[in-house]
Chain A
Amino acid sequence: MPNNEDKYEIALIGNPNVGKSTLFNALTGENVYIGNWPGVTVEKKEGKFSYNGEKFKVVDLPGVYSLTANSIDEVVARDYILNEKPDLVVNIVDATSLERNLYLTLQLMEMGTNLLLALNKMDLAEKSGINIDINKLEKLLGVRVVPISAAKKMGIEELKKVISEEVKNKKFTKIEYPKLEPYIKKIVSILQKDENLKKYNLKYLAIKLLERDKYIEELIKNSKVWSELSPGLNKIMEELAKKYGEPELGIVEERYKIIDKIVSEVVKKTSGKLTTTQMLDDVLTDEKVGILLLIPMLWMLFKFAFVVSSPFSAMIDYGFGVLADIVKSSIPNKFIASLLSDGIISGVGAVLTFFPILAFLFFALSLLEESGYMARIPFIADRIMNKFGLPGKAIIPLVMGFGCNVPAIMATRTIENEKDRILTIIINPLMSCSARLPIYAFFAGALFQKYQGLVVISMYALGLCLALILAVLFRKFIFKSSPMPLIVELPPYHLPNLNVVLMNTWDRVYDFLKKAGTIIVFGVMLVWFLSVYGPSGFLGVDALQNPQLIENSYVAIIGKTLVPIFSPMGWDWRACSALVFGFIAKEVVVGSMAVLYGVGEENLVSILAKVFTPVSAYAYMAFCLIYTPCLATLAVIKQEIGWKWAVFTLIYELVLAYIVALIITVVGSGIIVVCKSLL
């Protein structure tokens, strides 16, 4: 059935962390990321399912508390509902906090959408002794309500059935606020004189005007009835201000009046609250203990990823070595054999060796998110973050940056203030992502065998320190305001669902594998081609093993142009050109070194030990940590905050990387001179 006519569009909307993505996955069989903290989904995601032969397109929206567009994720959700006009809006409501969740429901009803309520986390509600009278709730709201448990996959079939009924049964919700109705009527009577506004729900516009919604105000100000409306509206606002303190609080209070009434009629609580959360929070959010625990927590995360993955890495390493030999000896065409074994297999192999570490790192990060601990980190770190001019919420993107800067930068979307958000984004590339780990691991293995772990960790610490120092500087000289105060929900802890954690890990790992199969293969092939060709033409595949030949290749020319710039650090041209290719993706630095030094991976370590000194290696590692965000990161910075900031980030990082590498060289050599003279 290729035609689009029989396809209905439904949208999943709800407060953050109510289980929208879990339900989306259960409905569509997709695998979008899930976590127990508000703000996991920041972009809308689309999927499909069919029921009784009919097709439905489902859209998973970012979680929002209201439709007033305070932050980017709210804008995404609201624009979608307002402009795309889905056939059915499925409002996911957390049964354990109906009272708070209904606030959004009422706003959806004001919009006059075709609405359906999915009452999620019923399992949890039952466990905590919360009883909800579904029939009464349906009657009071005038909306169908389906109890489900998305995580336990209960009620999903029933929900599909009701969805398929309700998409056809086009009835639109209505809601009345008795105390405000006269004002609303008055405003609507004027608004309806403008033909251009007919496409909107006028009552909704009127309510939004009472709420002083900037977006709607702008819309009406451009309408021809504005001059007629504004004197009356001003009077109404004055009246409301007298009654409610602030005019916009009027609608808030009236909404909660209705909610309180509904809740008192449908919710029965039989026992108290969950106590594990209280117990854990007594410890984890304690002012002193909380911070003391945060650092070991993160340290454990890394240690876990490194230790558990090392045997797997060794296996993959060995496998690629064998594969390269087989390919080389069994393919008669020398050109192709070299491209495959010296180029792709040794280059990509060097990168894929780190695949297990990444997988375990992502697994550990997901555990952190699913348990509910991630949600506490902004709280624990708020005061410290503020000292560096950052909002508390900035800590989540910073921690996520240890995995990959791309989703980390997307995660800043929950930061309400635009300046705070820009600042958080432009320092994020300094957080050492997993792609840079292979570089440290090689150099640490080659030159710092005794202190491998310490040297690697020091890179992460260096990145974090620089990020914080720059945050202070940027805040002082560019964004001259103070960060917005923290407002964040702390969801209850729960035992991570292994299935969810594994699926999340797979989601991230899959991205990495895709990258290895495309951009990294491309990067190392490029290096290979530029190594066997030069201005004089084809040099022969022996170039990679023959130092005299490769001197005439393009890659040597690129590298040698850079050598003078980096002469204080003493890096050879191979190392310099690897930096150029690393711009594509940081993994390519190691991949291209493996190609350029013409060796398999195990030998790379021994060659590096000869070509570098500990000081030049440490400076090189630091340079790789800091210099330029990779292409994907630059692209996401541009997408989020524009070209100007992407270019700014690129330039400041290049300058900073150079300065830091220079300082390391000078100080490092100084220390060595002193040590020698003492001996």
Chain B
Amino acid sequence: MYPLAFAKEGETVIVKSINAGFGAIQRLSSMGLNIGSKLKVIRNQNGPVIVSVRGCNIAIGKGLAMKIIVERV
């Protein structure tokens, strides 16, 4: 298990926990990213991370991506 911010481009991972504040958790879950969702990492360079989740691409700031713990499938 490691933070989403460390995932490689092209990797598929599953969300294990989100250690962010209340607002951010709410926001992420309403956009389709909750515990147990499967993410495909589209872009992970120095800026925000782009993941594809439930058919949509979302960009997540690096700091927040550090708080999303994922596991490779």
B-contact bits for A68-79, CB 8 A (1 contact / 0 none): 101000000000
B3 within 8 A of A: no
Within 8 A of B (CB), among A246-278: 246, 248-249, 252-253, 256, 278
Within 8 A of B (CB), among A92-120: 96-100, 103-104
Query: When the two chains form their complex, are residues B35 and A245 in contact, meaning their CB atoms are under 8 A apart?
Result: yes
Minimal Cβ-Cβ distance residue in A for B45: A287
Query: When the two chains form their complex, are residues B45 and A416 in contact, meaning their CB atoms are under 8 A apart?
Result: no
Minimal Cβ-Cβ distance residue in B for A16: B31
Within 8 A of B (CB), among A377-414: 378-380, 382-383, 386, 392
Q: How many residues of A contact B (CB 8 A)?
A: 41
Stretch in A454-462, A484-492, A578-586 with 4+ CB within 8 Å of B: A484-492
A262 to chain B, nearest CB (A): 13
A281 within 8 A of B: yes
A286 within 8 A of B: yes
Please, which residues of chain B bring their CB within 8 A of the CB of A103?
29-30, 32
A228 to chain B, nearest CB (A): 26
B12 within 8 A of A: no
Query: When the two chains form their complex, are residues A68 and B59 in contact, meaning their CB atoms are under 8 A apart?
Result: no
CA distance A525 to B62 in the complex (A): 54
Query: When the two chains form their complex, are residues B55 and A486 in contact, meaning their CB atoms are under 8 A apart?
Result: no
Main secondary structure of the interface of A (DSSP, over half): helix
A285 within 8 A of B: yes
Minimal Cβ-Cβ distance residue in A for B47: A383
A79 to chain B, nearest CB (A): 17
Please, which residues of chain A bring their CB within 8 A of the CB of B57?
281, 489-491
Please, which residues of chain B bring their CB within 8 A of the CB of A392?
48, 61
Across the interface, A485 reaches (CB within 8 A) one of B26, B55, B56, B60, namely: B60
Please, which residues of chain A bring their CB within 8 A of the CB of B1?
none
CA distance A488 to B61 in the complex (A): 9
Within 8 A of A (CB), among B19-38: 22-32, 34-37
A337 to chain B, nearest CB (A): 60
A66 within 8 A of B: yes
> With contacts A382-B61, A485-B63 known, is A253 near B43, CB below 8 A?
no
Please, which residues of chain A bring their CB within 8 A of the CB of B45?
286-287
Query: When the two chains form their complex, are residues A248 and B60 in contact, meaning their CB atoms are under 8 A apart?
Result: no
Query: When the two chains form their complex, are residues B30 and A490 in contact, meaning their CB atoms are under 8 A apart?
Result: no
CA distance A245 to B22 in the complex (A): 13
Minimal Cβ-Cβ distance residue in B for A375: B59
Query: When the two chains form their complex, are residues A490 and B22 in contact, meaning their CB atoms are under 8 A apart?
Result: no
Ranked 10 nearest A-B pairs via Cβ:
A485-B61, A66-B30, A485-B64, A65-B30, A486-B61, A287-B45, A100-B32, A99-B54, A490-B57, A97-B55
27 contacts between A and B (CB under 8 A): A66-B27, A70-B27, A98-B55, A99-B55, A100-B54, A103-B29, A104-B30, A245-B35, A248-B22, A248-B26, A249-B29, A249-B34, A252-B34, A278-B42, A285-B43, A287-B46, A380-B47, A382-B47, A383-B46, A392-B48, A485-B62, A485-B64, A486-B61, A487-B28, A487-B61, A489-B57, A491-B57
